[in-house]
Chains A and B, each alone.
Chain A
Amino acid sequence: MAASVTAPGHRLGDTRRLLRALLPSLSLALVIAAIAWLNPRAMSYFGFTLMLNLAIPIALATLAQMFVIAGNDLDLSIGTFVGFVCCVSATWLRDTPWLGALALLGCIGVYACLGALVYLRNLPSIVVTLGMSFVWQGAAILLLPKPGGKAPGWLQAIMGVKPPLVPFPVVAAAVIAAVGYFGLMRTSYGAILRGAGGNPVAVRRAGWSLLKAKATLFALTGAFGVLSGMALVGITTSADANIGNGYTLLSIAGVILGGGEFVGGRVSPVGAVIGALTMAMAASPLLTFLRIPPDWQVAANGAILVVVLAARVLIGRKGSGQ
């Protein structure tokens, strides 16, 4: 009897879930279709390489943000952190590689400590990371008071690879998504990390350390933030302390666009990368083709975010109605 009662609801839930799962890809398809319609010539190897130029660092920063969000936190410092990493890469990493590498590893350690601090003192991560955003920016300015520096040659070479047929950013995005997916969704410890966001009490009762989980999540954020900064400086070849400032919003938007939620450990690495690509293309190529004046591009980004969140609420509401 139970089966016959629950079956229709079950199927309705399925379509809702499918719709939710497809929302990130649909948004990306919509953006690409719009660009294709506005400017068919952009649909080429060269066009995609150009349009998705900055998508790699954005995707990495988005994954970084996704790890803290998986633990019900938020990193408002990821933008300035990416900027700081750029500065380190364009100076120390080029001039004295061992010092640069040590500094970047140290940054990951700082992130792990922040995670431990947030957990042990039960601090709101927003305020802590807001404070840290000033620390990173200050350190970046100290390191590189004026825009300049030069990315190490090998970094530029990596970012300049031209694989046959498929543009490099697309290949890189696929690799990043795969690494994120296997790391968080398919490893046995990844399940614990997500579980700690979903039901911390149950995870602790099963004998796991929440401190370790939180520190790991923050360290992963730091690690992907480092990769994002290195990728960014590899593309731009020189650095600037303010170069990453926009990444805080882009990364949060990417995670949410990709189906992540702020609480409950509900995140999707593949969705986050798709969300990042969408944001990267919507952030300027689409708006340029739409001839939206530069004045309104920031507003358009905010509006896209609001529209997507509204769409999700609508889908969710249909579900709760029955």
Chain B
Amino acid sequence: MKRGMMTLLARPWLWSFVGALIMWLAAITFTGGYGGGGMLTAALSLSVFTVIVGIGQMFVITLGPGNVDLSLPANIGLASAVAMKVMDGSDSRVALGLLAALGCGLCVGVVNYLLIRALRIPPIIATLSASFVIQSVDISYGRGLQIKPPPGFADFTNIQIFGVPLLALLTLLLVAGAGIVLHRLVFGRSVSAIGQNIRAAYLAGVKVEPIRFATYALCGVLGGLDGALLAGYFRGANVDIGNEYLLASIAVVVIGGTSVAGGKANIPGVWGGALFLVLLLTMLNTFGVSAGIRLLLTGLIIVAVITAAGGAKAAR
């Protein structure tokens, strides 16, 4: 029993949930208990979008030092436009639009990998360069059009069941699926092996390059999915819709206990980190602090968390 307690406490993802809980308690204390439930519902709704891209980013970061996908915001923006355009405001074309968004994300992932592999560009610059091109494509593609989601799709993304957003339930399935992929599929094992030691992974017979390709492609697909859902939730696509997910996707991964040094992924932590970030912003909003303080605190917390987490790596 005691040992079970200890192992539970040793799990880094727990702290992200504890942090999220503290943020929520602080916020409802401030409001005098008013609106606590609504706050949670809203936080769950918003965290979904961070969780989806966070999972993709987590797989990429787990590949090891230097691997990160900075093209997610542009990818989300383009996919949202593509999805809305293909759906064309008609409920009958929702599935087609979703497929198009996924395909669009897949293309982005493939292009990222090709830049990294063929031009031997470090992933940071490759994905950043790609994001500029994607952004332009998006601007010129979506220009002058009021792209609205079909009403059915917009409603679908906003359904709540007893205060729990349907999207959050579906994302729970996605997260569970990601857990299976990470722990029970050859792919997930290989990603983790590559991240721990790419040379040892190669010598143990892991197919390093195909796995890296699949990882960037997966991250792209998740970005595409996120774009479509965001457009539905916010009732319209726009170029800047994904902007906040650059830092957020990396932050939730780090806060959730995934090692930036690679090889150690943590799936529940991604959700904990997302809730923490959203509730942090909610709390700061209820306190009525300015946007400046909000940014400042977010940045400082990320630096603090990475500093604290970095020590564990040094001990290894």
Contacts and interface: CB of A to CB of B under 8 A. Distances in A.
B186 interface: no
B310 A302 contact: no
Contacts of A132: 299, 303
Interface string B225-258: 0000000000000000000000100110010000
B302 A121 contact: no
B293 A306 contact: no
Contacts of A28: none
Interface in A140-178: 140-143, 145
16 contacts: A121-B311, A122-B313, A131-B299, A134-B247, A138-B294, A141-B295, A296-B139, A298-B139, A300-B136, A302-B136, A303-B129, A305-B125, A306-B129, A309-B119, A310-B119, A313-B119
A29 to B, nearest CB: 23
B290 A141 contact: yes
Nearest to A316: B120
Contacts of A135: 295-296, 299-300, 303
A243 to B, nearest CB: 15
Given A131-B302, A134-B247, A298-B132, 10 more contacts: A117-B307, A124-B260, A126-B68, A132-B299, A138-B296, A138-B297, A142-B290, A145-B290, A299-B133, A309-B125
B298 interface: yes
Given A74-B124, A306-B119, A296 B132 contact: no
A301 interface: yes
Interface string B280-316: 0000000000111111111111110011001101100
B121 interface: yes
B247 A298 contact: no
A298 B68 contact: no
A295 B139 contact: yes
A286 to B, nearest CB: 16
In this complex, the member of B251, B298, B303 whose beta carbon has the largest number of chain A beta carbons within 10 angstroms is B303
B130 interface: yes
Given A249-B132, A298-B136, A309-B121, A134 B302 contact: yes
A252 interface: yes
A130 B307 CA distance: 13
A123 interface: yes
Interface of B: 65, 68, 115, 119-122, 124-125, 128-133, 135-137, 139-140, 143, 247, 250-251, 254, 260-261, 290-303, 306-307, 310-311, 313-314
A71 to B, nearest CB: 15
A313 B124 CA distance: 17
Interface of B is mostly: helix
A216 interface: no
In this complex, the member of A134, A136, A296, A305 whose beta carbon has the largest number of chain B beta carbons within 10 angstroms is A134
A313 B120 contact: yes
B299 A296 contact: no
B259 to A, nearest CB: 10
A65 to B, nearest CB: 12
B136 A296 contact: yes
Nearest to A135: B299
A123 B129 contact: no
Interface of A is mostly: helix
Contacts of A130: 247, 250, 302
B141 to A, nearest CB: 9
A139 B303 contact: no
A126 B129 contact: no
B16 to A, nearest CB: 16
A250 to B, nearest CB: 11
Contacts of B135: 298-299
Contacts of A126: 68, 124
Contact of B310 (A122, A134, A143, A256): A122
Closest 8 CB pairs of A and B: A302-B132, A299-B136, A134-B299, A138-B295, A138-B296, A142-B292, A131-B302, A141-B292
A150 to B, nearest CB: 20
Nearest to A306: B129
Contacts of B299: 131-138
A127 to B, nearest CB: 5
A236 interface: no
Contacts of B137: 299
A293 interface: yes
A142 B247 contact: no
Interface in A63-81: 74
Nearest to B140: A295
B291 to A, nearest CB: 6
A128 interface: yes
In this complex, the member of A252, A298, A301 whose beta carbon has the largest number of chain B beta carbons within 10 angstroms is A298
Contacts of B131: 302
B266 to A, nearest CB: 16
Nearest to B295: A138
Contacts of A117: 307
B110 to A, nearest CB: 15
B10 to A, nearest CB: 20
A151 B139 CA distance: 34
Nearest to B314: A122
Nearest to A248: B128
A137 B291 CA distance: 10
Nearest to B65: A124
Given A127-B306, A310-B119, A302 B133 contact: yes
Contact of A127 (B119, B302, B314): B302
A134 B243 CA distance: 13
Nearest to A241: B292
B68 A145 contact: no
A48 interface: no
